């Protein structure tokens, strides 16, 4: 979570949702508790991080998220997929939320200048756009579900994408866009320090969540 919480606060929250499972969060802090709770439920049913092609933001997640970007982050943090993942809302025939590029590789394992990959984005214009992805970052590129972009990805250090060092692929975006998840797999969970909370705040800001 982006804020600190005493164990007693967590226990009170868990007791309340056990007694009143249909209750709707009334404050931003309650919302954050609830979203973190759903992340842990998803993780408890996951044996390992896996490569998948699509992911659905369930109705239960959507109803306690103010924005599609919040639902996207809860689902990403819960499932921790890797590969090129299409994200949909409600079901795979529902509205497309995003395409997420999730890199495989451990942060802090020798990538030069803590960089994960170099990416060229081709929107069909005269020039391609170049960007460099840094370790432990989320990067959002606004691209609609109707808009196509060709990604040329060159992975650095120990990082891979879809088990490859280099990849060229055409994707579309969604309500949120195209997201690059350079937080590594296996994922290094934030600790309880101010630095750990700072990582969570950074990821939220990257997706426009305040």
The stretches in the chain having pLDDT less than 50 are none
Percent of the chain scored above 90 by pLDDT? 59
Helix-strand-coil split of the chain, %, nearest 5: 30, 30, 40
Q: What is the pLDDT of residues 114-155, one digit of tens each?
A: 899 999 999 988 889 999 999 999 999 999 999 999 999 999
**Rama region for 40: left / alpha / beta (φ>0; ψ in -120 to 50; rest):** alpha
- pLDDT the model gives residue 6: 82
Answer whether the bond into residue 186 is a cis peptide, omega within 30°.
yes
- pLDDT the model gives residue 3: 79
- pLDDT the model gives residue 77: 93
Sequence ranges of the domains in the chain? 48-206
Alpha carbons 203 and 138: distance in angstroms, whole number: 6
- pLDDT the model gives residue 111: 61
- pLDDT the model gives residue 60: 86
Neighbours of 23 (CB within 10 A): 11
Task: List 83's β-bridge partners, or say none.
Answer: 102
Residue 195 dihedral angles phi and psi, to the nearest 5° = -65, -40
């Amino acid at each position: 979570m982006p804020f600190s919480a005493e164990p007693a606060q967590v226990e009170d929250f868990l007791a309340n949702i056990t007694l009143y499972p249909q209750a709707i969060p009334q404050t931003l802090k309650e919302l954050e508790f609830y979203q973190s709770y759903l992340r842990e439920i998803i993780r408890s049913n996951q044996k390992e991080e896996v490569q998948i092609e699509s992911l659905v933001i369930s109705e239960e997640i959507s109803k306690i998220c103010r924005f599609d970007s919040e639902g996207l982050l809860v689902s990403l943090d819960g499932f921790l997929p890797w590969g090129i993942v299409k994200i949909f809302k409600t079901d795979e025939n529902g509205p497309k939320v995003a395409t997420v590029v999730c890199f495989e590789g451990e942060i802090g394992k020798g990538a030069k200048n803590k960089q994960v990959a170099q990416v060229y984005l081709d929107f069909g214009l005269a020039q391609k756009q170049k960007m460099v992805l840094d370790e432990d970052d989320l990067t959002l590129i606004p691209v609609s579900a109707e808009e196509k972009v060709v990604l040329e990805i060159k992975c650095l250090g120990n990082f891979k994408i879809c088990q490859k060092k280099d990849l060229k692929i055409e994707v579309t975006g969604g309500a949120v866009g195209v997201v690059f998840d350079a937080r590594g797999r296996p994922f290094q969970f934030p600790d309880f320090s101010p630095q750990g909370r700072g990582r969570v705040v950074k990821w939220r800001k990257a997706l426009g969540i305040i």
